Amino acid sequence: MKKLVLIATLVAASMAQPGWAADKPRAKNSCVSPGAIEAEQAIRYVTDLMIVSSVCQDTVYAEFRLRNRDVIVGYQKALIARFHGNAGFDRWNTSLANAAAQKQGGNQQLCQQSVQLLKQATALDPNGFRAYAVAQAAADTQTPKCAK
């Protein structure tokens, strides 16, 4: 378990181009822009893929990052703006990676359960990844959305 958290933290830190950050508590009446919600969904996907690929000793994550580098960096920049700088983004992303690693830690069937995720990530190019993030953002009913 400790190994998973350490791996997640190290990989997240090494991915920090330009960086990952921490979520600030939202004010009661605050809202999040659709673009920021899309970016958050995308980075959540990347983080889940990182954990699964690491645990399952698969190269899909590295290949996905190379193929989608520019899109990922764009999403990171959007979240850096949302979290008011690299430090905030780093805290949020580290927290996200640690939570994902803890959720998956000790799951003996993780690799079997993640076959679809790995298969999907293998096929996602930048346009497909953007479309996925947009669809996830549209389906997000938990985050208060700002009017356009």
Q: What is the pLDDT of residues 40-91, one digit of tens each?
A: 999 999 999 999 999 899 999 999 999 999 999 999 999 999 999 999 999 9
Give the pLDDT score at 23.
Answer: 41
pLDDT over threshold 90, residue 28: no
Confidence at 5, pLDDT banded by 50, 70, 90: very low
Exposed, middle or buried, 45 (CB in 10 Å: 0-12/13-18/19+)?
Answer: buried
Give the pLDDT score at 102.
Answer: 85
Give the pLDDT score at 13.
Answer: 43
pLDDT over threshold 70, residue 29: no
Give the pLDDT score at 146.
Answer: 87
- What does the radius of gyration of the chain's CA atoms come to, in whole angstroms? 15
Confidence at 118, pLDDT banded by 50, 70, 90: very high
CA distance 137 to 55: 27
